[in-house]
Every structure is written in C-alpha cells, then in structure tokens.
Structure 1
C-alpha cells in the first residue's frame, strides 16, 4: 500500500544548518495524509496549484528481482535517495517547491523462503498498486519520478501511461538487459514484454544493451516486436557510434512516434552501482545523467523511472551502499529536473 510522506517522517532525513535552506525544508507534502483514491486525486491537484511539477514516489520491494532469480536488496533505494536529495541546498538553481514527496509503495514483505511462483504472484499484485497510484499522479498533470524496486515496475508505469493518455507509450531504457524475456509469470526481466502484449508499449529502444547478457530467445522476441537497440559494446567498447550521436538518433525516433515517452533507467547499467546485477563493465554515472537530461530535454517524457538500486548489495556493506546509491540517484533526479526547468542564472 501507499505510505504517504508525513512531516515527521520527512524530518528524519534532513540535517539542518543555520544560514542554509535545504530542499527538504521547501518540498511539498500532501495536505491530506489519506491515500484513498478520491482524496489522493484532490490532494495532488492542490499541490499542482501550489507550484508542484514533479512527484517523487518510492517503491520498496525486491520481489520482482527475486522472481527473476536475481538478488534482493532493492527495498531501501528510496530512503537512500531521500537522505541525499533532501539535503541538497535550496537556491537559485532549484527551490524545492517544484517537488512533491508523495511517499512510498510498500507491499507486504515476502518471506526469504518464498517460491518463485509466490514471488511472481506478489509481483503481479504489486502491478495493480503501481498502476493505481501513478494514474492518479498523471491525472493531476504532474510528472512522476519513481525510485526503487525492481524493473518489473516499468510494466505498471507503462500501463498507467496508457490509461492516462489513451495510447501506448514509446520507451527508451538505459539497461544492459532488454527486460523482454518470455511472459512466464511477472518478474523484473519481462516488464516490457508484458507491456507490449497488453498494448501499453508501441516503440522500444534499449540503450547500452550488453551483447552477451540477453538470450537469443529474448533478442528474437525483441526483434519480432520491432524493438531497437544500441549495444554497450557498440558505443563504449568498439566506439562504432558516439554516445552523443546515439542519443540524437534515439530522441529523433522517439519524437517521430508522437507518443508519450517513458524514460527508463536500470542502475545495473552504471559501473559499480550496487544493484541486483551490478557490473564493473558499465556506463559512467555522468553518462547516465546526461542520458536522462538529453531525453527529458528533447522529448515529451511522461515520467522518469530509476530501478534496481540495491544499497544492501554494495561490496563494502549497506552503509556504503546507502551513500553511493543516495548520491547517484539524487544526481539522476536532478538531471531530469534540470531538463524540465532550465536554470535561471
């Protein structure tokens, strides 16, 4: 269920300092703490009238990655991100009133001994919660920035986008995996294939797809759908195309669809980022930030989704994981906001 952010909860993240104003002291919260659909809709509309543009929503779950036979640990990314984001300075570059901290979707905890089938059932149940909440955010003409959980939640986001715009989305995903696996039961590896089958995804481009981390069956399915990709090896290893040229081509193709754009990022793509499938051979964080900024600036994005961060999976322990995830995800969020709100010097 949705745990709505309260002032008391928010205050636990903020370290105040005399003479400074932090983003956490400026951001908006819902006036009503109730998460019921009718009350949520009105509260979101009220926030919009008060200047909110972005809604930051957490999803604290790891059933999706575990249902994909991966590691857990993606339950704490939202808290890690807020610990850094809310302590950024409120200044001429970003005031903070543009952001509403909605809260966190927290499904029931799934036992560590749960079967794969139980995990996939739990992931499917979570889909409905994500769809309900994100549909309300979009209905209020606000932009969701969704943090945490597995990449399975792309399905709920795409279905909510379809429900709001009454048309399928065009998605771009920075990810070594296409997440277009067979529809064998819901998990983090098939959010996009399920979305395509249910009419929520009309165009799909994977940026940074690793040539040896996708099965031939998955590549065949993606090709049959009409999916596109630039591989990690093409851009960062063989240098057959520059990163900038790839971004230009992707943005141009997304815009030609004239569809709402789903902006997706799996932190598995970023080098040394603690996640369910972390890698040393990955994209630099600054390139990931530029990807978000470029697509958000040049395309009509419906939302930003940052998935799979898992502080518990850091090689140096969870404290180090919270620090690295918090700093990285906060920079990714700000890259999106910068693109939507040009800096006024």
Structure 2
C-alpha cells in the first residue's frame, strides 16, 4: 500500500493565510508530484510528516502525536518569506497516511491483556513504511526532516540510513529518556534498543537524560556498552547556556563524523508532549542547541513526541526554520 500523500496546492490553500503585501513561506514552495522528482531538484532538506500515535499508546503514553503534523503545517507555512527565511533550500514531500492503522488501534480493547502487543503489531507495519520512504529520500542525497508521531519512528529512520550506507550509523538524542527498553514488543520506548539489536545503530549519545525516569536495568545496560554514553539533565542545572552547549559538543565529539539528530519534545520544560515534564530545557535553549548542531553533517533530523497546543506548531516551526536558515 502506498501511504505517501504528497503536499500539493490543496494543502497550501488549506493552511496558508495570505495577507496583502506579504509572502508566506508556503506560497513560495516548489511542489512535487512524485518522489522521483527529487532527483532533479537542488533543495537539500525534505520534510516528511508522520501523523500517528500508535507507538506512544503501545508504550503506555499519552495519545495525540498523530495531530502534530497538521499543527506544524498551520504554523510553519505561515512564517514570513523574507531575507532570513526562504523556501529556496526546502521541500515538503508530504505525509504517510496511517488512518487505517489508527482506526484499527481505536477499535482495540484497552482492557485486553494483549492490548499493547496488538498495538505493537501495528507499530511494526509503521516501521516498514517509514523506512521505505526515508530510504527513497536518502537515495537522492537529500536530508530528511521528519515531523510528528512517537519516538518509535526513530527505528524506521535509523534502519533506512543504515541500509542506505551499508553500515550502522551514529545518533544524538536530545531526550529525557533513553528509549532503550526491553525488545519484547515494538513501541515508542525501545526504538534505539531494537536498532542496536538489529545492528543499525552504532554509537548512541543521549543528552538531557532524566535520572528519575531511567530504570536501573537501563543504566546497567549502558555500563556494558562502550558505544553508548549520556549526559543527565540534572548535571546541567547549574550551568549557563555556553557551558551546556560545551557539554553538548562533547556528545558530538563522542559520536564523531556524521550522525542523526533526534529531538524528543519530552525533554522541553512544560511542552505539551506524550510525557510532559515540569523540568527540562527551555524552548530557547533547544533553539540554541539546534543552531549549534546544524553545523555538523547531519544524516537526518527527527522531531517527535509533541502534542498540539496553542503554541506547539509555532515552537516546531522555530526549530525547523533554525535548522534550514543560513544566517
């Protein structure tokens, strides 16, 4: 089943709010009719939406990440196209339509003993579709920016990068959690443990890990793995912004060379997400981290776990515009 729905003129008409004398970013985007068109286009960044929350539900998390893609488009397409923001180096490919899988998830009985196992079967289907489309984006030497859905989608993205390169890749994850839970069934909390098990992931660094929400068995697992390291958020509390960026730079040095960038919105203070936290990075701190990290050769960028609120779309728009902005 072809789940890719292309971003087209009807989407622009749906989301963009024209204003006399102004040009919104969505009004200046080049549109695709087929993913193969990427071969002849110069843009470096390709945005893909994953509107699903099945992986989050399979991990006992709060549903709602399936609606983040629409919230992002509503805000991002309406930022000003000016000397600082340009669609020149950007394409919005579209999104993967998981409506049938979401309907199947809704029909499951949450009280059934195997409820979360049933959800994991759907997550595995999502994995394959995510991997397939991301591999196609990578085949045209483009950098995917993946928005929306749960952190389960990291597995499909990492698998796509690894299979494209023929070797395991390295990943930096800004997150309150490791997502290294047991590989019993697929969900948003074990994308990286599955990626390690399948030999798609080599070096893995977690920045901003919360001591209160990391099981001891995971700390013991990390102790045994030379290719995994972390910096706890608790270690950063007394530091100023420059000192925090220095700690983040140390994480980049641990990974070396190219790596994938994961941004889990659970790590942001009071951000509406599947595991909202009162203690975390500020949005401005996250923006500064993104501005520093974009100077590294990034294989992909994945922003996940956000749930729509009055400011979610605007926050994600800041993150993406910071990534693609040259100045």
TM range (shorter): over 0.9
Gaps of 5+ in 1: 33-39, 312-320
Q: C-alpha separation between the residues in 1 aligned to 2:234 and 2:158?
A: 28
SS at match of 2:15: coil
> Matched residue pairs, number?
314
CA distance, structure 1, for counterparts of residue 190 and residue 69 of structure 2? 22
- Asked if 2 retains the 8 angstrom alpha-carbon contact of 1:247 and 1:294, the reply is no
How far apart are 1:267 and its partner, in Å? 0.1
Instruction: Determine the structure 2 residue equivalent to 1:25.
Output: 27
Aligned-partner SS, 2:144: strand
Work out the CA distance in 2 between the residues paired with 1:271 and 1:292.
16
Counterpart of 1:118 in structure 2 is 118
Partner of 2:112: none
Question: Of the candidates 286, 298, 301, which is equivalent to residue 298 of structure 2?
Answer: 301
Whether 2:91 is the aligned partner of 1:90: answer no
Q: Higher mean Cα deviation, 301-310 or 93-102?
A: 93-102
Q: CA deviation at 1:93?
A: 1.5
Contact 2:291–2:322, Cα closer than 8 Å, also in 1: yes
Equivalent residues in 2 for 1:198-213, closer than 5 Å: 198-213=198-213
- Go from structure 1 to structure 2 and tell me whether the alpha carbon gap of 1:112 and 1:276 turns closer, same or farther (over 3 Å shift): farther
Question: 1:328: which partner in 2?
Answer: 315
Structure 1 stretches of 4+ with a deviation exceeding 6 A read: none
Structural mapping, 1:73-222, within 5 Å: 73-107=64-98, 108-109=101-102, 110-111=105-106, 113-114=108-109, 115-222=115-222
Partner of 1:310: 307
Question: Is the Cα–Cα contact under 8 Å of residues 27 and 98 in structure 1 kept in the other structure?
Answer: no
Deviations 1:6-39 (A, max 9, x none): 211222110101111110011122134xxxxxxx
The answer as to whether partners of 2:12 and 2:27 remain within 8 angstroms in 1 is no
**TM-score, normalization by structure 2:** 0.92
Aligned equivalents of 1:282 and 1:112: distance in 2?
35
TM-score by length of 1: 0.88
CA distance in 2, matches of 1:335, 1:223: 35
Please give the alpha-carbon distance, in whole angstroms, between the structure 2 residues aligned to 1:122 and 1:101: 26
The unaligned stretches of length 5 or more in structure 2 are 110-114
- 2-structure distance, mates of 1:158, 1:279: 26
Aligned equivalents of 2:199, 2:243: Cα separation in 1: 33
Query: Alignment partner for residue 12 of structure 2, among 10, 15, 20?
Result: 10
Give the structure 2 partner of residue 269 of structure 1: 267
